[in-house]
Chains A and B, each alone.
Chain A
Amino acid sequence: MSTTAEARPEAPLPHGKPVGAGRGRPVGRFELWAWLFMRISGLVLLFLAVGHVLIMHVFEEGVDRVDFAFIQLRWASLFWKTWDWLMLVLALLHGVNGLRMILLDYVRPGGARRAINGFFVILGAALMALGTIIVVTFDPSKWPMS
């Protein structure tokens, strides 16, 4: 694979950059921070979300064993509470920013763009608040152990 790529004469690609120059990075304070955030949160979510999916949905009976008693036991541990809360916050920010990127590509009129983006930002913020309240206030000892 690499030998054929190396052997080819280094003509500029259609976008005018030489082969191997990499991709551009966004210009502007907010966009550059958003770009960096996607990569950092993506790296953390690689462990949090893939771990979560494998534990909860694939191994050891997967979702078949998930019921209230299971959560009660799981959220008795500060480790899993922290894991789930961090995943909640990072995944919502990563996902809502991803939606914004898609929107920039497909929706042109500024008003519609702002309206749809605003809707997802508010939805994301509301769900982040709901999830945070539930994770922080959930007290396993409040409910009878089954």
Chain B
Amino acid sequence: MSTEIKRKGRFGPLYKGHEGQYSWLLHRVTGLAIILFLFAHVVDTAVVGWGPDAYNRVASVYHNPFIRMLELGLVAAVLYHSFNGVKIMLIDFFPRLTRHIRFLDIATAVLFVGSMIPITWIMGSAIVELLLEG
């Protein structure tokens, strides 16, 4: 424990390198990615107001395999941010759970990876099909 506290972070002022550091950073990065995508997504969805020709032209962007890989990343970001958000609420509303923070951090990661396996399979095979087609 004490050696861990003395050890300096490899990234300058970043905190010690406990699991919590990575979940904090991931929460921030995924949140940032989601809101920046959301800004664009509200606009692309708003195009439905201009009818089928306009909207279908915009929606065709999603048939690009590269965009579809970004889409997989978006799904991953939403899921991680959600699971980690539940963890944050648990420790904030039940403060005694901070004793088990390491377990909660690892449980969140396991839940996330576990749910991403079938999702990556489903979305990944659609991307592979797109790549083979075109």
Q: Chain A: residues with CB nearer than 8 A to chain B? A: 1-2, 5-6, 8, 14, 19-23, 25, 39, 42-43, 45-46, 49-50, 53, 57-59, 61-64, 66-69, 71, 75, 88, 91-92, 95-96, 98-99, 102, 123, 127, 130-131, 133-134, 137-138, 143-144, 146
Docked CA distance A134–B35 (Å)? 20
* Chain A, interface SS category: helix
**Given A98-B35, A134-B49, CB of A22 within 8 Å of CB of B92:** yes
Give min CB distance, B125 to chain A, whole Å: 11
CB-contacts of B45-75 with A (<8 A): 45-46, 48-49, 51-52, 55-56, 59, 62-63, 68, 71, 74-75
Give min CB distance, A15 to chain B, whole Å: 11
Return the contact of A62 from the options B89, B100, B123 (Cβ within 8 A).
Answer: B123
- Chain A residues with Cβ below 8 Å from B28 are 102
Complex contact A22–B55 (CB within 8 A): no
Q: Chain B: residues with CB nearer than 8 A to chain A? A: 1, 5, 28, 31-32, 34-35, 38-39, 42-43, 45-46, 48-49, 51-52, 55-56, 59, 62-63, 68, 71, 74-75, 78-79, 82, 85-86, 88-89, 91-93, 95-100, 102-103, 106, 119, 122-123, 126
Complex contact B102–A5 (CB within 8 A): yes
Complex contact A1–B46 (CB within 8 A): no
Since A66-B62, A68-B59, A92-B38 are in contact, a sample of 11 more A-B pairs with Cβ atoms closer than 8 Å, ordered by chain A residue number, is: A5-B103, A25-B92, A53-B75, A62-B123, A63-B62, A63-B71, A67-B59, A68-B52, A130-B43, A131-B42, A131-B45
Complex contact B5–A23 (CB within 8 A): no
Docked CA distance A105–B12 (Å)? 15
Give min CB distance, A48 to chain B, whole Å: 10
Name A98's closest neighbour in chain B (CB-CB): B31
**Given A5-B99, A20-B98, A91-B38, CB of A46 within 8 Å of CB of B86:** yes
- Chain A residues with Cβ below 8 Å from B79 are 50, 53
Name A146's closest neighbour in chain B (CB-CB): B52
Docked CA distance A58–B72 (Å)? 9
Complex contact B42–A88 (CB within 8 A): yes
Docked CA distance A23–B104 (Å)? 15
Complex contact B95–A20 (CB within 8 A): yes
Name B96's closest neighbour in chain A (CB-CB): A20
Complex contact A46–B85 (CB within 8 A): yes
Give min CB distance, B126 to chain A, whole Å: 6
